[in-house]
Chain A
């Protein structure tokens, strides 16, 4: 019983962050700002959902698979996020920022 309460609590927190991330995707300004909202979904949202499901399924093979999914997302999501923002930069989308503290506008790592 207690385990079920804990698991639903975690699933609830995860769902809340999914919702906030979705609101952020709609509310924030340009693509670079919206990426942050997506980041909310695949860190806290996904993390807490997986944690909740782990508690729900107990010490079974399912839990081991859930943890593997979590570890995979831990490595895959920042890479895909970076690919997305780099693609946006390469597509000449200018970030809408209040302040640009870069010393110059050249693109790091760009192949001439």
Chain B
């Protein structure tokens, strides 16, 4: 229930930012639609720890800057690969473990892998991820497991998830 109320507040803030016209009638429409959407989400049972993971928010804020730095680094590496000689492009397939406790954690990990260019998660399941990598170096980096541990820590400190319903 708490999650649904929070969802309504966030939706209304989003509505305020997107609208830009602030007359009483329009704002009341905004309040109304935010509440209706949150209520539908509550009825559909999608405003849970997966659909609306507010329990990750603070951890995510500390994880994103690190991720963005990684994205920029690997972007430059891939740009070099694309512009450089064809000889250097040696695609490789690897299977790496994903020992996050929740599916949300595994999705976060797979998404992070895909977001860093040079590595794409092509299949996820059974606590493992198949990764297609453009170069051996990127694959070796991934095997070191720095990102894996960071995503694990992202959810660990919030585990067990609070039952709000």
Query: Contacts A24-B82, A65-B18 known; A43 to B132 CB distance under 8 Å?
Result: no
Interface residues in A49-94 by Cβ distance below 8 A to B read 61, 64-65, 68, 74-75, 77-79, 81-82, 85-86, 88-89
Report which of A20, A29, A39 forms a contact with B120, defined as CB distance below 8 A: A39
Are A108 and B129 touching (Cβ within 8 A)? Answer: yes
B residues less than 8 Å from A79 (CB atoms) = 111
Interface size class of chain B, counting residues whose CB lies under 8 Å from the partner chain: 35 or more
Are B20 and A75 touching (Cβ within 8 A)? Answer: no
B105 on interface, CB distance cutoff 8 Å: no
Dominant SS at the A interface? helix
Interface residues in B57-112 by Cβ distance below 8 A to A read 71-72, 75, 78-79, 82-83, 86, 89-95, 110-112
A residues less than 8 Å from B72 (CB atoms) = 44
B125 on interface, CB distance cutoff 8 Å: yes
Q: How far is the CA of A68 from the CA of B36 in the complex (A)?
A: 22
Closest CB in chain A relative to B62 CB, distance in Å: 16
Are B79 and A20 touching (Cβ within 8 A)? Answer: yes
Query: Contacts A36-B78, A44-B71, A68-B17 known; A89 to B122 CB distance under 8 Å?
Result: yes
A residues less than 8 Å from B123 (CB atoms) = 86, 89, 107-110
Which B residues fall within an 8 A CB radius of A? 14, 17-18, 20, 71-72, 75, 78-79, 82-83, 86, 89-95, 110-112, 114-118, 120-126, 128-130, 132, 134, 136, 139
8 CB < 8 A contacts A-B: A20-B83, A40-B75, A65-B18, A97-B93, A102-B94, A108-B124, A108-B129, A109-B125
